[in-house]
Amino acid sequence: QEQLVESGGGSVQAGGSLRLSCAASGYRYSVACMGWFRQAPGKEREGVANIDGDGSTDYADSVKGRFTISKDNAKNTLYLQMNSLKPEDTAMYYCAYSGRYPCARWWAFQYSAYANWGQGTQVTVSS
């Protein structure tokens, strides 16, 4: 059964760190483009980072230099290390599977390009 399950969210103060995990099952996980998205109340879901089958990564400008996306193919797990968190990073975070390869900037940050989603994990950053 195809499934994505996120974990690792929580509440931190500004400047703190969190690491999100996404356990993937039933997908060609190691090959396809995978992404992390976030959605704050009243805002559209936005792409945060994505990673290709060969490990190539790309980031939204708002998180570049602070967030790191990675994956462990042996564990079928996607990660998002978030450092220097800001209150504006507060959102529900989702991992997503595109079923496409390779990632490309013209679509990989668009939520409509991803077929499968996890249930989300909440990140709250206080000032």
pLDDT at residue 26, as a whole number: 77
pLDDT at residue 114, as a whole number: 94
**What are 68-88's pLDDT values in tens digits?**
999 998 899 999 999 999 999
Task: Decide if 20 contacts 8 (C-beta within 8 A).
Answer: yes
**What are 18-72's pLDDT values in tens digits?**
999 999 987 777 788 999 999 999 999 999 999 998 999 999 999 999 999 999 9
In 3D space, the residue among 81, 117, 125 whose CA is nearest the CA of residue 6 turns out to be 117
Write out the two tokens for 23. 């356990």
| 74 Cβ contact list (under 8 Å, min separation 6) | none
pLDDT at residue 2, as a whole number: 78
List C-alpha distances in Å: 11 to 15, 19, 24, 121. 12, 12, 24, 11
